[in-house]
């Protein structure tokens, strides 16, 4: 990929709409646009970029310069380098919406020695031209994909440079320690000791615990970015589909008193406190001779295996022994840290003589719900948020929440290097060796913002962008 090519792409999604935007960036941008864009519909009144200021919008006509056919009436926005998204000369053509027109305009541009942009290439140029750093470029992709408030707010903060600032501050902290170590080296020959090794060790340890805290925010970050796979499971007739509908506030799944109603799983989105839950209702778990039901149960297990969180329902209106059996089944087959055990239909419990004297004793920490009486649904929702580790972290606060796996891996490498520095201090090795470890930590920090990076990493990041961004 040649960085100096002039590139173009349709930046708005395919399909019909009011307007579409075609973006052009690179050093030939203005020259090519002057060949195809005119102030009148007869190709007589030329448009000259040299006469116009940056950040202005102009009305005119796009022509196919090969056959002189009028293609569309458009507005063009001018961004002269370096004050553009990419840092290069940029023109954005706002044409009438519709894939036919936009494709036609793009083709005219491509006939004029302009290359089709790769996914994310505009943003990549913004990074390579120093307009934004790598963590901000990644935030652009996340911002486009955001489906909830929390995902939106974490990516906009990152785009505004919250992570970049944190990286810069941490780099400065490490540089300060390196300077102390290296100053020490200069004077070591003269037998002077400026700072105690213990003091340096303490500084590195303090920094490390700060970084570890941020690394641990990744669990929350992943939930914010990707959402949670939430599966409702349990024996037939335990009220799974009813709960599914209740949470969605919509009669999506068929509910009946016949055991084995739900065959195939059903998936819908639910947003709670800004967290996206992919809610999945499954077929009731039991041994079945029915071929279709068995296939449904097989699918239930697959969904359960892939789930981030499982709501396991036990029908509290059934017989005590059946409940006990079901509790055992749950204990033997589900991970407690990934599941919430729920006793459903609590309104029917007393009617069926299930009281605490001779009936089932439901442990106080377990959740009993009744959809009929709207009982404990809020408790359940809070428990769901607590289980996915988002209840304590205020997503609107200024605390850094890591949402990107690459950033997490870089920070882990920083921590490893800092731990090596601590070990080096402990073995009493000379300052030179401590300094090497600390400089490694600096290098890994720089990978987050792209100060130290390689082409493979870049390609990997921008490959996941959409075309035209
Ligand atoms: N009284 C009462 N009935 C409930 C409650 N929740 C569900 N039910 C009833 O329990 C029966 C079974 O509900 P479903 O939601 O179809 O159960 P399911 O677990 O999806 O069943 P399968 O799809 O067959 O596995 C229906 O008759 C519901 O109306 C509740 O909180 N109280
Ligand atoms: Mg069902």
What are the pLDDT digits (tens) for 308-329?
Answer: 999 999 999 999 999 999 999 9
Cα 371 to middle of ligand 2, angstroms: 14
Residue 353 confidence (pLDDT) above 50? no
Closest CA to 154 of 226, 211, 230, 213: 226
| Interval 322-350 mean pLDDT | 91
Strand partners, 20: 95
Tell me the average pLDDT across 372-394: 84
Nearest CA to ligand 1 atom 27: 257
Q: What is the pLDDT of residue 286?
A: 94
Q: Which of 232, 242, 266 to mutate to test the pocket of ligand 1 (most atoms within 8 A of CB)?
A: 242
3-state secondary structure of 79: strand
Confidence of residue 2 (pLDDT cuts 50, 70, 90): low
User: Is residue 361 within 8 Å of 370, Cβ to Cβ?
Assistant: no
Alpha carbon of 242 to ligand 1 centroid (Å)? 5
For the stretch 10-38, pLDDT in tens is 999 888 889 999 999 999 999 999 999 99
Most confident of 337-346, 357-366, 382-391: 337-346
Measuring from atom 21 of ligand 1, which residue has the nearest CA?
237
Q: Say yes or no to pLDDT of 361 above 70.
A: no
Ligand 1 pocket check for 260: Cβ under 6 Å: yes
Report how far ligand 1's centroid is from the alpha carbon of 239 (Å): 3
How many angstroms is it from 390 CA to the middle of ligand 2?
29
Q: State which ligand 1 atom lies nearest to the alpha carbon of 257.
A: 27
Name the band, by pLDDT with cuts 50, 70 and 90, for residue 399: confident
- 291, containing H or E segment: helix 291-306
What pTM did the predictor assign? 0.77
- Residue 452 pLDDT class (50, 70, 90 cuts): confident
Strands 228-234 and 115-116: what pairing? Answer: unpaired
Residue 456: is its pLDDT beyond 70? yes
| 128 phi and psi angles, rounded to 5 deg | -65, -30
How far does the centroid of ligand 1 lie from the alpha carbon of residue 345, in Å? 8
Q: Using the predicted structure, report yes or no on whether residue 364 has a pLDDT greater than 60.
A: no
Which ligand 1 atom is nearest residue 284's CA? 25
pLDDT at residue 242 tops 60? yes
Tokens 């796009």 sit on residue: 62
What share of the chain in percent tops pLDDT 70?
92
* Ranges 384-388, 391-395, 431-435: which has the least confidence: 391-395
- For residues 16 and 95, give the distance between their C-alpha atoms in angstroms, rounded to a whole number: 12
Question: Which pLDDT value is given to residue 190?
Answer: 65
d(CA 113, CA 108): 10
Give 191 or 7, the one with higher predicted confidence.
Answer: 7
Strands 115-116 and 7-10: parallel
Ligand 1 close to Cβ of residue 263 (< 6 A): no
Q: Is the pLDDT of residue 365 over 70?
A: no
Residue 358 has pLDDT above 50, yes or no: no
pLDDT at 194: 60
* Residue identifier of the C-alpha nearest atom 11 of ligand 1: 257
Ligand nearest to the CA of 245: 1
Segment 238-267 shows an average pLDDT of 96
pLDDT of residue 19: 95
**How far is ligand 2, taken at its centre, from the CA of residue 337, in Å?**
24
Which of 255, 282, 370, 380 best tests ligand 1's pocket when mutated (most atoms within 8 Å of CB)?
255
Locate the ligand 1 atom nearest the alpha carbon of residue 281 and give its number: 20
Asked if residues 458 and 142 have their Cβ atoms less than 8 Å apart, the reply is no
Neighbours of ion ligand 2 (CB under 5 A): 240-241, 261-262
**Cα 118 to Cα 89, 154, 218, 224, 390, distances in angstroms:** 18, 26, 30, 28, 36
Task: Tell me the pLDDT band of 70, cut-offs 50, 70 and 90.
Answer: very high
For residue 303, give the 3-state DSSP assignment.
helix
Question: What pLDDT, on the 0 to 100 scale, is given for residue 459?
Answer: 84
Judged against a pLDDT cut of 80, whether residue 107 lies above it is answered with: yes
| Proportion of the chain above pLDDT 90, given as a percent | 73
Strand order in the sheet with 367-368: 266-272, 275-281, 228-234, 309-315, 339-344, 367-368
Q: What is the predicted pLDDT for the residue at 118?
A: 93
Expressed in angstroms and rounded, the spacing between residue 312 Cα and the centre of ligand 1 is 13
Q: Are strands 228-234 and 309-315 parallel, antiparallel or unpaired?
A: parallel
């Amino acid at each position: 990929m040649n960085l100096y090519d002039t590139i173009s792409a349709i930046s708005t999604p395919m399909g019909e709409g009011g307007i579409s935007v075609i973006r052009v960036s690179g050093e030939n941008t203005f020259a090519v646009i002057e060949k195809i864009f005119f102030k009148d519909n007869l190709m007589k009144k030329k448009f000259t970029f040299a006469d116009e200021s940056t950040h202005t919008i102009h009305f005119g006509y796009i022509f196919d310069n090969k056959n002189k056919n009028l293609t569309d009436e458009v507005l063009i926005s001018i961004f002269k380098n370096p004050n553009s998204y990419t840092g290069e000369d940029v023109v954005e053509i706002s044409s009438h919406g519709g894939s036919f027109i936009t494709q036609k305009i793009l083709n005219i541009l491509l006939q004029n020695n302009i290359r089709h942009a790769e996914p994310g290439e505009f943003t990549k140029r913004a990074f390579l031209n120093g307009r934004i750093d790598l963590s901000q470029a990644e935030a652009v992709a996340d911002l486009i994909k955001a489906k909830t408030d929390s995902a939106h707010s974490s990516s906009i903060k990152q785009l505004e440079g919250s992570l970049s600032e944190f990286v810069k501050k941490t780099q400065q902290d490490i540089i300060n320690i390196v300077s102390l170590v290296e100053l020490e080296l200069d004077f070591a020959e003269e037998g002077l000791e400026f700072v105690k090794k213990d003091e340096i060790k303490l500084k590195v340890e303090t920094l490390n615990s700060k970084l570890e805290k941020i690394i641990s925010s990744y669990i929350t970050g992943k939930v914010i970015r990707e959402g949670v796979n939430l599966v409702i499971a349990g024996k037939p007739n335990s009220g799974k589909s009813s709960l599914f509908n209740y949470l969605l506030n919509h009669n999506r799944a068929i509910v009946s008193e016949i055991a084995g109603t739900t065959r195939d799983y059903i998936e819908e989105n639910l947003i709670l406190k800004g967290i996206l839950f992919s809610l999945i209702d499954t077929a009731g778990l039991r041994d079945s001779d029915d071929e279709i039901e068995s296939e449904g149960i097989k699918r239930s297990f697959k969904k359960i295996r892939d789930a981030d969180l499982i709501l396991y329902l036990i029908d509290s209106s059934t017989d005590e022994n059946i409940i006990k059996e079901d509790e055992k089944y749950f204990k033997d087959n589900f991970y407690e840290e990934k599941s919430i055990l729920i006793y459903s239909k609590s309104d029917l419990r007393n009617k069926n003589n299930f009281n605490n004297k001779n009936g089932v004793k439901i442990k106080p920490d377990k959740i009993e719900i009744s959809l009929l009486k709207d009982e404990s649904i809020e408790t359940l929702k809070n428990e769901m948020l607590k289980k996915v580790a988002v209840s304590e972290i205020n997503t609107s606060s200024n605390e850094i929440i890591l949402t990107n796996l690459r950033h997490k891996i870089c920070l882990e490498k920083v921590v490893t290097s800092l731990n090596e520095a601590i070990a080096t201090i402990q073995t009493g090795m000379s300052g030179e060796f401590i300094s090497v470890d600390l400089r490694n930590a600096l290098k890994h920090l720089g990978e987050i913002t792209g100060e130290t990076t390689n082409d493979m990493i870049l390609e990997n990041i921008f490959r996941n962008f959409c075309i035209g961004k």
